[in-house]
């Protein structure tokens, strides 16, 4: 579904990615783990067009999407839940969800997906008329994911969904991620600092360090890999 | 009492014009976070466009009822201003999208001067008479009040335009995109919003309102010149700051308040001991007071995203 070939990118004179190559198979959950500054977020940002690739290619569903502007990719079925959630604080919960379906014209489909999102995250239904900025961190994360689902994506990219969220809600959110992956057959690319959690829910994992891929393996194998355990799982 | 009501009505019709211009400042600030100092000059071009449209079309539309003709001129001016605003954005501001805000601000001042002096070159420096689109007549039966039909029409049409604007911003897809973009441009683009299109639309919308303001202003005061946009532009900017920059209701209320205060200060100049010649200073005294005591303005609010 998604393929990166030797992608490099950076901010100004600072290089963030040095030739990243990875694959995300349809229907799977793939995770990128690694320390702060390893290039996980930059990888997602390069895929979704927020960061320019300096070299290499990004292929999505067989199409070369390298350096497409972000807004064009949404229509192709790519949804990116960015780091820090970036919900629209002064819009209501419902308006935020409506923004997720911004490019869609199928009224009935939108209504059905809205129902699905509100069913999946009942908290959002309770607070649907509230300004999104008044939600708790965990609720905002649910809103950000729900908003991304409203675009009816083929690939959902999540950047640090557990960041700054109460542990109990983190568990709920990860259950929901697994649920949408199964129920909607939605492919997920997950960036997560909490490697423990990420390798538990995912099928395949990449370990990043300073903008390079250090290891790539099935998540179970990574979990039992002594080097990964020592560096990322605190074993 | 009559005197006060008289001043109030005069002030509201002037304030309506300020409000219409102020909305353009505040909307552009909302999406791009900069003050488009050329906005007052788009207003000026609107007044001249109204004059020329009026002159050119009058002989061709002889049989038309007056109100319909005036409405057509208003509409044409709004379209012309929208096009000019969009053009200025495309040519002057869009290439600077990634540059520091100060660069864009200085460019705006440059565009302002360009429009003013191009106006002087084309239209001449002397004030010109604006054709009366509607026959001015006092409204009878108001006791001692002198209210012209034009004042009431200005207030009525402004109210209608504000309702249209409210509908566009709060109820349409484009309006939702405008609000989303003003809150977080990156997130808006991740929703599929083409930010360039929304920004152009915002400039067009704000400029169209300034065009309407120009037709009203010129109809009320009847003389237009290439620098007529400077003071109303500055005052409308003060009105936008007074209401809280970035807030649409703020710009509307700020404009009306400013128009009323300005008119009252002139009307009661003897009582207040302020010479009427200080009328233009009123807005700037207000600006200083807001900046000292409530920089966020009347409706300004900041709801921070939780991190």
Query: In this structure, what CATH number is given to the domain that contains residue A17?
Result: 3.40.50.300
CA distance B16 to chain A (A): 27
Closest-CA residue to A83 (of A120, A45, A49, A48) = A45
The verdict on B307 touching A (C-beta cutoff 8 Å) is yes
Give the torsion sign (CA, A166, A168, A169, A171): positive
Paired tokens of B141: 């039966």
Q: Are strands B223-224 and A14-24 parallel, antiparallel or unpaired?
A: unpaired
State the pLDDT at residue B275.
87
Given this model, what pLDDT does residue B164 score? 97
**Interface membership of A106 toward B (CB under 8 Å):** no
Average pLDDT, chain A: 94
Is B187 touching A (CB cutoff 8 A)? yes
Q: How many CB pairs under 8 A join A and B?
A: 86
What is the nearest CA distance from A7 to chain B, expressed in angstroms? 21
CA distance readout (Å), B271 to A18, A91, A99, B107: 75, 47, 55, 43
Query: What is the spatial distance between Cα A32 and Cα B38, in angstroms, rounded to a whole number?
Result: 48
User: pTM for the whole thing?
Assistant: 0.91
**Beta-carbon separation of B179 and A136 below 8 A:** no
Q: Which of A69, A86, A134, A151 to mutate to test the interface with B (most CBs of B within 10 A)?
A: A86
Query: How distant is the Cα of A142 from the closest Cα of chain B, in angstroms?
Result: 14
What pLDDT was estimated at residue B305? 41
User: Percent of chain A having pLDDT more than 70?
Assistant: 100
CB within 8 Å: B306 and A151? no
Mean pLDDT of successive 10-residue stretches along chain A, which has 235 residues: 94 92 96 91 95 95 94 96 95 96 95 96 96 94 96 96 90 94 95 91 94 94 90 75
SS (H, E, C) chain B: CHHHHHHHHHHHHHHHHHHHHHHHHHHHHHHHCCCCCCHHHHHHHHHHHHHHHHHHHHHHCCCCCHHHHHHHHHHHHHHHHHHHHHHHHHHHHHHHCCCCHHHHHHHHHHHHHHHHHHHHHHHCCCCEECCCCCCCCECCCCCCCCCEHHHHHHHHHHHHHHHHHHHHHHHCHHHHHHHHHHHCHHHHHHCCCCHHHHHHHHHHHHHHHHHHHHHHHHHHHCEECCCCCHHHHHHHHHHHHHHCCCCHHHHHHHHHHHHHHHHHHHHCHHHHCCCHHHHHHHHHHHHHHHHHHCCCCCCCCCCCCCC
pLDDT at B258: 96
Judge whether A141 and A173 are in contact, CB under 8 Å: yes
Q: Which residues on adjacent β-strands are paired with residue A157?
A: A80, A189
What is the model's pLDDT at position B42? 98
* DSSP-derived 3-state class of residue A12: coil
Chain B residues with CB inside 8 Å of A164's CB? 307
Instruction: State the Cα angle at A127 between A122 and A132, rounded to 5°.
Output: 115
Residue A133 with chain B: CB contacts under 8 Å: 303-306
Supply the pLDDT for residue B302.
Answer: 53
The closest CB to that of B303, out of A48, A79, A89, belongs to A89
- Minimal Cβ distance to A71: which of B173, B184, B192: B192
Regions of chain B with pLDDT less than 50: 303-307
- Output DSSP code: residue A53: E
Q: Do B303 and A90 touch (CB under 8 A)?
A: yes
Of the candidates A71, A75, A73, A39, the one whose C-alpha atom is nearest the C-alpha of residue A59 is A73
Instruction: Give the pLDDT of residue A230.
Output: 86
The single residue listed with the structure tokens 């259950």 is: A175
Range of the domain at A17: 2-232
Domain count, chain A: 1
Contact B174, B27 (CB under 8 A): no
Q: Calculate how close chain A gets to B186, using CA atoms only, in Å.
A: 8
How far is Cα A218 from Cα A220, in angstroms, rounded to an integer? 6
Backbone angles phi, psi at B144, to 5 degrees: -90, 5
* Structure confidence at residue B301 (pLDDT): 66
User: Which pLDDT belongs to residue B304?
Assistant: 45
What are the chain B neighbours of A160 within 8 Å (beta carbons)? none
Answer whether A135 touches B (CB < 8 Å).
yes
For residue range A67-90, what is the model confidence (pLDDT) as tens digits? 999 999 999 999 999 999 999 999
* B179-221 tens-digit pLDDT: 999 999 999 999 999 999 999 999 999 999 999 999 999 999 9
List the single best residue of B172, B181, B306 to mutate versus A (max A Cβ within 10 A).
B306
Which chain B residues are within 8 Å of A71, Cβ to Cβ?
189-195
State the complex-level ipTM.
0.93
Q: Residue A198, SS3?
A: helix
Is there a contact between B303 and A84 if contact means CB atoms under 8 Å apart? no
């Amino acid at each position: 579904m998604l393929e990166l070939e030797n992608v490099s990118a950076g901010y100004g004179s600072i290089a963030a990615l040095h030739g990243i190559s990875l694959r995300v198979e349809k229907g799977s959950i793939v995770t990128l783990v690694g320390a702060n500054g390893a290039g996980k977020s930059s990888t997602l940002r390069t895929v979704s067009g927020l960061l320019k690739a300096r070299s290499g290619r990004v292929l999505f569903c067989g199409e070369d999407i390298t350096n497409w502007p972000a807004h064009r990719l949404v229509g192709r079925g790519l949804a990116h839940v960015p780091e820090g959630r970036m919900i629209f604080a002064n819009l209501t919960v419902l308006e935020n969800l409506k923004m997720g379906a911004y490019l869609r014209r199928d009224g009935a489909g939108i209504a059905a997906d809205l129902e699905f999102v509100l069913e999946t995250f009942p908290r959002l239904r309770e607070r649907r008329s509230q300004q999104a900025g008044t939600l708790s961190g965990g609720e905002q994360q649910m809103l950000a994911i729900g908003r991304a689902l409203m675009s009816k994506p083929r690939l959902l990219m999540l950047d640090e969904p557990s960041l700054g969220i109460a542990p109990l809600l983190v568990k709920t959110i990860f259950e929901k991620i697994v649920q949408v992956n199964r129920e909607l057959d939605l492919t997920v690319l997950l960036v997560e600092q909490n490697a423990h959690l990420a390798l538990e829910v995912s099928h395949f994992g990449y370990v990043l360090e300073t903008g390079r891929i250090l290891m790539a393996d099935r998540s179970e194998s990574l979990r039992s890999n002594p080097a990964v355990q020592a560096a990322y799982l605190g074993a | 009492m009559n005197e006060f009501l008289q001043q109030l009505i005069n002030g509201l019709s002037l304030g309506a014009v300020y409000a219409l211009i102020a909305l353009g400042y505040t909307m552009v600030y909302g999406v791009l976070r900069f003050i488009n100092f050329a906005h007052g000059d788009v207003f000026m071009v609107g007044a001249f466009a109204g004059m020329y449209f009026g002159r050119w079309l009058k002989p061709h539309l002889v049989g038309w009822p007056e109100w319909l003709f005036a409405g057509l001129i208003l509409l044409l001016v709004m379209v012309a201003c929208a096009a000019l605003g969009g053009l200025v954005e495309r040519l002057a501001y869009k290439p600077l999208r990634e540059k520091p805000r100060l660069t864009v601000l200085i460019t705006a001042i440059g565009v302002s001067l360009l429009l003013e002096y191009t106006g002087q070159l084309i239209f001449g420096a002397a004030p010109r008479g604006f054709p009366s689109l509607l026959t001015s007549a006092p409204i009878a039966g108001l006791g001692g009040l002198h209210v012209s039909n034009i004042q009431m029409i200005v207030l009525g049409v402004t109210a209608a335009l504000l309702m249209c604007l409210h509908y566009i911003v709060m109820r349409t897809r484009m309006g939702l995109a405008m609000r989303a973009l003003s809150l977080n441009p990156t997130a808006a683009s991740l929703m599929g919003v083409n930010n360039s299109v929304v920004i152009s639309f915002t400039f067009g919308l704000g400029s169209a309102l300034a065009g309407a303001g120009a037709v009203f202003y010129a109809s009320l005061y009847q003389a237009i010149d290439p620098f007529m946009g400077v003071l109303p532009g500055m005052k409308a900017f003060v009105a936008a700051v007074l209401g809280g920059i970035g807030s649409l209701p703020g710009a509307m209320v700020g404009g009306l308040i400013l128009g009323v205060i300005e008119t009252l200060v002139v009307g009661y100049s003897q009582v207040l001991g302020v010479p009427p010649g200080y009328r233009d200073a009123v807005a700037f005294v207000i600006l200083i007071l807001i900046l000292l005591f409530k920089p966020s303005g009347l409706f300004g609010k900041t709801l921070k995203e939780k991190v």
